[in-house]
Chain A
Amino acid sequence: MTLRRNRALAIVGAASVFALAACSTNGGGGAAEDVPGVTEDTVTIGTHQPLTGPAAAGFASISAATSAYFDYINDNGGINGRQIEFIVKDDGYNPANTQTVVRELVLEDDVFAILGGLGTPTHSAVLDFLNENEVPDLFVSGGSPTWDQPEEYPWTFGYNSEYTSEAAILANYAQEEFPDGTYCMFGQDDDFGDDFEAGLLEILGDDGLAASERYSVANQDVTAQISALKAAGCDVVFLASINGFTALAVGTAAQLGLFPQWMSSSSGGDYGTLETDYLQENAPLLLENFISTFYLSLETNENDPWVEHFQMVQDEYNGGGELGGNEIFGMNMAYMFAEALAAAGENPTRESLVEAVESGAVDGTGIVPLGYSPEDHTGNLGVRLSQVKSGVQAYFGDTYIYQDGEVSVYDGGAVPFENEGIPTAE
């Protein structure tokens, strides 16, 4: 009896293995194609974004804008006759989730490239995986210098102006405008904060900061840190914080009676986001004189053809509504990928896509030059400063770039608007 049952069990076991095996082999996509994610008429790419979790409110609109811009390009014939399909996966700004969703994108969805993976802590978690699998890892949304290591990570390219250069340019301005100020910093407890602080100290000197406080994304209470800033008598506070924590810092400081000159990284200094998603009717008052940086068009620019164009795409493909920094950020991202894809040839490969970016075929739509070359994978090389006045965030002064430890004025002008915002092979 027992013996017969054992034999039956063994047979059932073996049979189920074969059944599973049969299921799995025809489950995978894109069998005979040589280039993953590329077919006769489509190119599939993916990204990881914080659609839920602590960073969601400030950043979830970016990938929606990127998708909208791809829809616009697809409706106008795509790139080299191919439609761009953009898969957005939620990682909740949690590096552990990023690991899983990016593996899913690369190994299961067979994406051609990863575009604009958002977050320094999150994307760091998949950097080795992507480079080991030789997946183009374009335009990472985070200003860490980690992305710019062409020898170690030949497949990865930055996008944001690096935190170090933003910080250096802000510090340079602070020294000019507030020479007698007490400088302090409030930053995220990871590479974002570390890199930003390094950039500040580069300009201000090793003892240039009276206080430097850090927050953890997991903890929504920053009273302790802001109290410490107040105790240190700070009157200029540099912010290396994501949008949600910029709002928390500014709000908590106001409650504690601290009203310094805020100088924020572009990653957490978009007035539109801070107002709509966080501070609402208190925004104009709390953020008066708030200084931030950016490297793309601002929606308040007058007579900027890119802004008008993005507003049109926003109205027709992204459900209308006001254009903000996140939308411009996301649409510029899509435009840059389209530029790279157009330059990658009739039959793009992962290699030709990376070569196209390194060849300088990508200009973007911004106000500062891009660093891409075979030796340099930096994105935007500098920033311009903006300030909030009566609830309107607008650029002022010169555009700066930061290279080799020096801040200098850039007068090359913005990228001209051509061909209805649809890149062509040059």
Chain B
Amino acid sequence: MTGIMSSRTTVIIGVVGLIAVIGLTFVLEPFRNYQLATIAAYLCAVAGLTMLTGVNGQLSLGHAALMACGAYCYAFTANGLAEQEIEGPVLLIVPIIAAVVGATVLGLVIGLAAARLHGPYLAGVTLAFVIALPAVTSRFSDVFGGDQGLWITVERRPEFLAGRGGTEMFQAWVAIACAAVVVVLLRNLMRSNFGRQMRAVRDNEVAAALAGINVARTKVIAFTVSSAAAGIGGAVMAFMTQSASPGAFNLFISLFLLMAAVIGGIGTLYGALWGSILLVVLPDVIGSITRGLSLSPEVAQRLDGNLAVGLFGAVMVLVVIVAPFGIQGLVRKAGHQIRSRGSLQSAPHPK
């Protein structure tokens, strides 16, 4: 399907989208920019997960732990650099690279184990990492700062952005740049020969092996790449919030990442984008609706936070039943209908 849409079209959409989003940061309210940056941070992780689960068929519930790994690596490096009084682009970029390296190494370790496991067993192993995270951070609290986490010295916004909202705009730029890099790299990877190998392994490991594909290697690489993407997501989160704490990367985040990938449309990068947007926008929209309803404070308090989680669950169930290809599946279908109405030689949907 993606193969039919010309490469040039995708590039044009990408570039127009990128320019549009960066333009958007100039007009949005500071809090919206902060949300935009959060979307971009989630997108890094969800994009990696959607490739891992959707394209390669490995289910991971541990991506929050991989994000945490990225965040803590970012924190150690940034604080170390700040101690040496190193500032400027180095303080911005080097910690992100460190986060990628850290998450890649952890991902490789988990991936080596993952290659031997299937479905729920793999989910169980990765789940253990997320559950263990708060125990690890409080056991070694002199290193990780316990529940409170670590405070991070980050590169401040450039001088010309001084004033209200400047920091948030800068955060959004950094986050969008990171997300753009991740998406471009993953897109190329998914369309390359390796992408086909990942799909082959997902569909039938035996058949893939018979076709000369090294199944274990493919799975390990997929997991490692996906971890690196999650690491960047964690680094962006750490950069935005100036902190790395276990609470920011709990089991809920892992589940939310997976939900975002599924609701958006598993296995597609557009789907990852829709899912990430939903992760940030949905709780916010629900919040403003409940505020508008003038509920009694007690009921409102009860709904706050919980309603979004409940609704996510409901949407997830609905999507799996009604639209198994997620939001992106619906968008594609709509696009097809419009297109086939316009031209006479409409081809049937290739399976």
**B146 CB, nearest partner CB in chain A, Å:** 4
Q: A51-B304, A124-B148, A124-B151 are in contact. Are A99 and B20 (CB under 8 A)?
A: no
User: B292 to chain A: closest CB distance in Å?
Assistant: 14
- How would residues 1 to 29 of chain A score, 1 for a CB under 8 Å from any chain B CB and 0 otherwise? 11001100110011011001100110110
Which of A216-224, A290-298, A370-378 forms part of the interface with chain B? A216-224
Task: Given A24-B29, A107-B31, A217-B147, decide whether A17 and B23 contact each other with a Cβ distance below 8 A.
Answer: yes
Closest Cβ of chain B to A244, distance in Å, is 14
Q: B167 at interface (Cβ–Cβ under 8 A)?
A: yes
Q: Which of B1-59 contact A (CB under 8 A)?
A: 6, 8-9, 12-13, 16-17, 20, 23-24, 27-32, 34
CB-based contact A190/B146 at 8 Å: yes
Which of A1, A97, A216 is the one whose CB lies under 8 Å from B343? A1
Give Cα distance in the complex from A51 to B168, angstroms: 27
Taking a contact as CB atoms under 8 Å apart, the answer to whether A6 and B167 are in contact is: no
Docked Cα-Cα span, A141 to B134, in Å, equals 24
| B242 lies within 8 A of chain A by Cβ | yes
Closest residue on chain A to residue B244 by CB atoms: A96
Inter-chain CA distance A132–B242, complex, in Å, is 13
Query: B297 an interface residue at 8 Å Cβ cutoff?
Result: yes
B243–A27 touching, CB < 8 Å: no
- The reply to whether B9 and A5 form a contact with Cβ atoms under 8 Å apart is yes
Bitwise interface map of B from 156 to 167 toward A, beta carbon under 8 Å scored 1, else 0: 000000001101
Q: Is the CB of B305 within 8 A of A90?
A: yes
For B301-331 the 0/1 string (1 means CB < 8 A from A) is: 1001110000000000000000000000000
Q: State which residues 241-267 of B face A: CB under 8 Å.
A: 241-243, 245-249
Q: How far is the CA of A92 from the CA of B301 in the complex (A)?
A: 12
Pick from A5, A64, A95, A189 the residue with the most CB of B within 10 Å. Answer: A95
CB contact between A107 and one of B23, B29, B241 (< 8 Å): that residue: B29
Instruction: Tell me which residues across on chain B come within 8 A of A190, comparing CB atoms.
Output: 145-148
Bound Cα distance from A277 to B242, whole angstroms: 34
Q: Which residues of B have CB within 8 Å of A241?
A: none
The yes or no answer to A308 lying at the interface (CB within 8 A) is: no
Contact (Cβ within 8 A) A67 B297 = yes
Closest Cβ of chain B to A60, distance in Å, is 8
> Complex Cα distance A198/B37, Å?
39
A128 at the interface (CB under 8 A from B): yes
Does A108 touch B at the CB level, under 8 Å? yes
* Distance in angstroms between the alpha carbons of A10 and B18 in the assembled complex: 12
Determine if A10 and B12 form an interchain contact, defined as CB atoms under 8 angstroms apart.
yes
Residue A125 CB within 8 A of the other chain: yes
Q: A124-B151, A190-B146 are in contact. Are A17 and B24 (CB under 8 A)?
A: yes
Once the chains bind, are B9 and A6 in contact (CB under 8 Å)? yes
Contact (Cβ within 8 A) B247 A108:
no
**A88–B300 CA distance with the chains assembled, in angstroms:** 11
Q: In the bound complex, do residue A13 and residue B241 qualify as a contact, i.e. CB atoms below 8 Å apart?
A: no
B290 CB–A CB distance under 8 Å? no
Contact of B149 with A95 in the complex, beta carbons under 8 Å: yes
Q: Which of B6, B13, B148 contacts A121 (CB 8 A)?
A: B148
In whole angstroms, what is the CA distance A17 to B301 when docked? 35
Asked if A125 meets B243 with Cβ closer than 8 Å, knowing A51-B304, A67-B297, A108-B31, the reply is yes
| A107, B30: Cβ atoms closer than 8 Å | yes
Please tell me if the beta carbons of A121 and B147 are within 8 angstroms of each other in the complex.
Answer: yes
Assess the A95–B24 pair: CB atoms within 8 A: no
Q: Report yes or no: B20 in contact with A14, Cβ–Cβ below 8 A.
A: yes
Interface size on A, residues (CB 8 A): 49
A202 at the interface (CB under 8 A from B): no
Say if the beta carbon of B135 comes within 8 Å of chain A: yes
Name the contact of A189 in the complex, choosing from B28, B138, B164 (C-beta under 8 A).
B138
Q: Are B245 and A95 in contact (CB under 8 A)?
A: yes
- Given A125-B241, A190-B147, is A216 in contact with B304 using a C-beta cutoff of 8 Å? no
Taking a contact as CB atoms under 8 Å apart, the answer to whether A219 and B168 are in contact is no
Quick one: which of B224-248 are within 8 Å of A by CB? 241-243, 245-248
Q: What separation, in Å, do the CA atoms of A20 and B165 have in the docked complex?
A: 18
- Tell me if A189 and B301 are in contact (CB < 8 A): no
A52 to B242, CA, bound (A): 24
A13 and B16 contact, Cβ closer than 8 Å, known pairs A52-B305, A128-B242, A132-B167: yes
Contact A51 B20 (CB under 8 A): no
- A96 in contact with B247 (CB, 8 Å): yes
**What are the residues of chain B within 8 A of A128 when measuring CB–CB?**
242
- Chain A residues near B138: list those with CB within 8 A: 189, 214, 216, 218-219
Against A, the Cβ 8 Å flags (1 = close, 0 = not) of B136-176 are 00100100011111010000000000001101100000000
Assembled-state Cα–Cα distance A159/B155 (Å): 32
Q: Out of B13, B29, B151, B246, name the residue touching A27 (CB < 8 Å).
A: B29
CB distance from B157 to the nearest CB of A (A): 10
**Contact indicator B31/A9 (Cβ below 8 Å):** no
| Nearest chain B CB to A82 CB, angstrom units | 21
A94 within 8 A of B: yes
Residues 200-218 of A, flagged 1 when their CB comes within 8 A of B and 0 if not, give 0000000000000010111
Q: Is the CB of A9 within 8 A of B13?
A: yes
Please encode chain A, from 135 to 169, with 1 for each CB lying within 8 Å of some chain B CB and 0 for all others: 00000000000000000000000000000000000
A28 partner, pick from B13, B29, B241, B247, beta carbons under 8 A: B29
Residues of A within 8 A of B29 (CB): 24, 27-28, 107-108
CB distance from A245 to the nearest CB of B (A): 12
B134 & A218 in contact (Cβ 8 Å cutoff): yes
Q: Please name 6 further chain A to chain B contacts, defined as beta carbons within 8 Å, in addition to the given A96-B245, A124-B151, sorted by A numbering.
A: A21-B27, A21-B28, A90-B301, A96-B241, A96-B243, A219-B135
6 residue pairs from A and B, CB less than 8 Å apart = A2-B6, A64-B297, A94-B247, A96-B241, A190-B145, A218-B138
- Closest 8 pairs (CB-CB, A-B): A96-B248, A216-B138, A107-B31, A121-B148, A94-B247, A218-B134, A108-B31, A190-B148
